[in-house]
Each structure stands twice: as C-alpha cells, then as structure tokens.
C-alpha cells in the first residue's frame, strides 16, 4: 500500500474532510500538482478547480474557488475560500460562482484584470469537468 498522509480541507463555513490520503491533486495558481507523503514543504495559492483526494476508500472530489494549500512531509492542508463536495455542485452553484467572478472582474483595477478574467475561465473549466454549463 502506498504511503499515507493526513489531508484536511477547510473553508470558512466548515471542515469538509479530515482523512488519510495517498495523494491529493491540487489546482495550484501556478499549475496543478499532486501532494503525496514525504512531499517537500510547499505553500501554494489555489485557482478555482477540483481537489481530488485519493484514499483507501476511493477518490473524493471537492470544488474550490481559491485559497491556499500547505504541503508538509506529514500531510496537506487546503484552506479554501469556498469549497464543497463536487457531488453538491449544481448549475445554480456554478451560475453563482460565475456571477461572483464576473462582478470582481468588472470592478477590477487594471493590474488585477487579467487574473480575474482567468478566474472566470477557470470556473468555466470546472463546470465543464462536472458536465455543467458556465454562462459567460
């Protein structure tokens, strides 16, 4: 069996999971990466995407809209701005995410415009992965 590590996913509303995992796929702002036991210490900013947790009972998927990931040799913690199990994401939730991201983009300073435009696109990719439609 693969080495296991502790994984915790927390949002301001709730703790979504605290479990043993063999690997966690993370949507990093600078690129996706996989955290595993004995991983080099890393802190990363998240982009909107899907966190996939590989554990003893199969894969669990969670949608995050942003936040931070802290990876240590002993475990990984994701502190998400907003997060929910992928199974709970509906078309209404995606519509709300898009509206929120578009409002931020439309009110952005010129320095932030590219980053916030990318966020809208990232949410559209999440919708596509979940077989939903992002109305842009």
Measure Cα distances from 132 to 91, 92, 123, 129 in Å: 6, 10, 11, 8
**3-class SS shares of the chain: helix, strand, coil, % to 5:** 25, 45, 30
134 part of a folded domain: no
51 part of a folded domain: yes
Tens digit of each residue's pLDDT (9 = 90 or more) over 23-65? 999 999 999 999 999 999 999 999 999 999 999 889 999 999 9
- Are 60 and 110 contained in the same domain? no
pLDDT reported for residue 136: 58
**Does residue 10 carry a pLDDT above 70?**
yes
Q: Would residue 29 be called left, alpha or beta, if left means φ above 0 and alpha means ψ between -120 and 50 degrees?
A: alpha
Residue 117: domain span: 89-129
Tens digit of each residue's pLDDT (9 = 90 or more) over 115-124? 888 888 899 9
Radius of gyration of the chain (CA): 15
- Are 111 and 66 contained in the same domain? no
- Are 78 and 98 contained in the same domain? no
- Are 25 and 59 contained in the same domain? yes
Average pLDDT across the chain, whole number? 92
Question: What is the tally of structural domains in the chain?
Answer: 2
pLDDT reported for residue 2: 65
Task: State the virtual CA torsion across 26, 66, 127, 62 in degrees, nearest 10.
Answer: 50
What's the pTM? Answer: 0.90
User: What is the CATH number for 56?
Assistant: 2.60.15.10
Tens digit of each residue's pLDDT (9 = 90 or more) over 77-102? 999 999 999 999 999 999 999 998 88
- Are 95 and 56 contained in the same domain? no
- Are 93 and 51 contained in the same domain? no
């Amino acid at each position: 069996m693969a080495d296991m590590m502790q994984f915790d996913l927390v949002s301001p509303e709730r703790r979504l999971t605290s479990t043993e995992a063999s690997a966690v796929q993370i949507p990093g702002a600078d690129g996706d990466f996989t955290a595993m036991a004995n991983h080099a210490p890393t802190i990363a900013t998240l982009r909107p995407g899907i966190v996939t947790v590989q554990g003893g009972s199969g894969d669990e998927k969670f949608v995050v809209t942003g936040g931070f990931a802290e990876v240590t040799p002993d475990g990984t913690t994701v502190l998400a701005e907003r997060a929910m199990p992928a199974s709970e994401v509906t078309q209404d939730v995606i519509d709300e995410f898009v509206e929120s991201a578009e409002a931020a983009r439309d009110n952005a300073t010129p320095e932030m415009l590219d980053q916030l435009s990318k966020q809208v696109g990232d949410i559209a990719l999440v919708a596509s992965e979940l077989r939903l439609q992002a109305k842009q």
